[in-house]
Structure 1
Amino acid sequence: MSANTTTAGRSLGITLAVDFGIQLVFYIYSAARQTETLYDLSGSLTYIVCVLVALLLRDNGDVNAISSLHPRQIVAAALVLIWALRLGSFLFMRVQKHADRRFDTLKTNPVQFAIPWSLQVIWIFLTAFPVFAILGNISTAQNAFGASDGIGIAIWVFGFVVEAVADAQKSAFKTKNPTKFMQTGLFKYSRYPNYFGEVTLWVGMFILCANGFTDSWQWVTIISPIFVFCLIYFLSGVAMLEKSSEARYGQDPEFIAYKARTSKFILWFPKSQ
């Protein structure tokens, strides 16, 4: 076992423990109050704390672990912090205005309520898995900053902008038109541009981190973008909204026409009708 494998493994173990601990504290508080208002915020806060812990508790034999960080490690950590701050604040403000109906039947039962909090532990760790992996790597063992890093950053920025703009557009639209469906702005090119942006930015993050892998086992972190896509497309975001949208607007001719001409997920030009 190489020195880097030991170092990275230790970092991942501590990160997972911190992840679990924070979610446990928030779960206990939320279960006692029977509220879901801190669920999304706690997720974003956990990302932030886990990244900071991974940075501060590095043990790679350097005289000053923080000052010896590889540029890739700094960029990856900064991007996660920016993403978590933006998404966390947006979701927290949204839940203050509209309760999250997914928790209506769960929050009154502590055992059932524990399920989404447990899943959030997994979501946090697997989503940022590539980042946590390279933050634990010995800086000098990583490849130099190269073209693939730039490609990864560009893809991340594109995904981040798409997600942020789509969230802002839909929030503004729903404030004025709470009973209507969104079909303008980025929603003209995708029915779920915010989720497309989310998946895209984690693809970019993996590409950025991949050039910093120092052990072959770290390629398993490709599960990150795959997990994010499967979670969003098949289990939570897209799948759930498809059902609710169909129930609310399924008989509306305008909605039927919108679905027929608009890409379900990937940003693309509308079909001519």
Structure 2
Amino acid sequence: MNLSGFLLNLLISAGAVLVVMLIALGLAVRRGRHDGIDAVWGLGFAVIALVTLAVSDGDLVTRLVVTGLTVVWGVRLAVHIHRRNHGRPEDPRYVALMGRATGNPVWYAFRKIYLIQGVIMWFVSMPVQAAQYETGAFGLLGWLGVLVWLVGLGFEAVGDQQLARFKADPGNRGKIMDRGLWRYTRHPNYFGDACVWWGLYLVACQHWIGALTVLSPVVMTAFLTKGTGKALTEKNMANRPGFAEYVKRTSGFFPLPPRTGGSR
């Protein structure tokens, strides 16, 4: 691996992330709302992968595979979130956050929304960047990573589609989604997201420097389970009728057969 090239790539990708976040901030100020950053989240990872592809010098197959996997995941997520938010009011999270703004609201939004998400994006993407500097041939560990990625994308995409179809039916208003993949895990989309990043990490593990980026999927999984993913979602749903019973019979994250009684 070209270690000096990889370290330089980290600086270049940081600059690319900053540009993406500044563009997102400018569009948000023009629109008067900040929930567009949720769609930019996936696109930002795609930009990092493409920038790294352009400047890296590792095995071509590995570079193309990692970039392709990251772009497919990022674009799918961005399109899904854009469709979900289109025509709806501003996300209450950002309304509440901007309601606490002090000083210049644009500078406040940059620090509290865009800069934080940009730093996390850059850190989580390290396996994608490291993998593209591996000079060895794409091997068994790489294919295992692709398999884990496929499982993750399947759970995420199918789960999102099932939930969207459920919410589109007026007869389901006020009900808890407990069908399809949601019968086996309360968060198939977040579980799938975690698998995607562990899969990309496995591809990076074909070199020992890539293996050192393990904190990247760990941080992503922590956000999905303890941060703005599962924990926040369930906090907002805690008072919904039937949710307590759903929690008792359904796994919180890893897919498992539903229990017939008692708590898990």
Give the TM-score normalised by the residue count of structure 1: 0.86
Please name the residue that 2:153 is paired with: 160
Is the CA contact (8 Å cut-off) linking 2:204 and 2:211 kept in structure 1? no
For residues 168 and 22 of structure 1, the distance between their equivalents in structure 2, rounded to whole angstroms, comes to 28
Matches within 5 A, 1:225-264: 225-247=217-239, 249=240, 252=241, 254-264=242-252
Deviation (angstroms), 1:190? 0.5
Q: Which amino acid letter does the alignment assign opposite residue 124 of structure 2?
A: T
Is the CA contact (8 Å cut-off) linking 2:201 and 2:211 kept in structure 1? no
Residues 1:204 and 2:194 are matched in the alignment: no
Deviations 1:100-155 (A, max 9, x none): 221112346424422121121022212221011222x2x5xx33222111111111
Please name the residue that 2:93 is paired with: 102
Please name the residue that 1:63 is paired with: none
Report SS of the residue matched to 2:86: helix
Matches within 5 A, 1:42-191: 42-58=40-56, 60=57, 69-98=59-88, 99-107=90-98, 109=101, 110=105, 111-114=107-110, 115-135=112-132, 137=133, 142-176=135-169, 177-191=172-186
RMSD of aligned C-alpha atoms? 1.9
Aligned pair count?
A: 252
> Cα gap change, 1:178/1:16 in structure 2, threshold over 3 Å: closer, same or farther?
farther
Please name the residue that 1:224 is paired with: 216
> Cα gap change, 1:229/1:169 in structure 2, threshold over 3 Å: closer, same or farther?
same
For residues 113 and 169 of structure 1, the distance between their equivalents in structure 2, rounded to whole angstroms, comes to 33
Q: List alignment gaps of at least 5 residues for structure 2.
A: none
Is the CA contact (8 Å cut-off) linking 1:36 and 1:107 kept in structure 2? no
For residues 234 and 47 of structure 1, the distance between their equivalents in structure 2, rounded to whole angstroms, comes to 21
Deviation (angstroms), 1:264? 0.7
Deviations 1:47-99 (A, max 9, x none): 222222212233x4xxxxxxx74312211110001001100000011111433
Deviation (angstroms), 1:32? 4.8
Is the CA contact (8 Å cut-off) linking 2:201 and 2:210 kept in structure 1? no
Deviation (angstroms), 1:178? 3.6
Report SS of the residue matched to 2:42: helix
Question: Equivalent of 1:266, from 250, 254, 264?
Answer: 254
For residues 57 and 208 of structure 1, the distance between their equivalents in structure 2, rounded to whole angstroms, comes to 19
Deviations 1:147-176 (A, max 9, x none): 111111111100110000000000111121
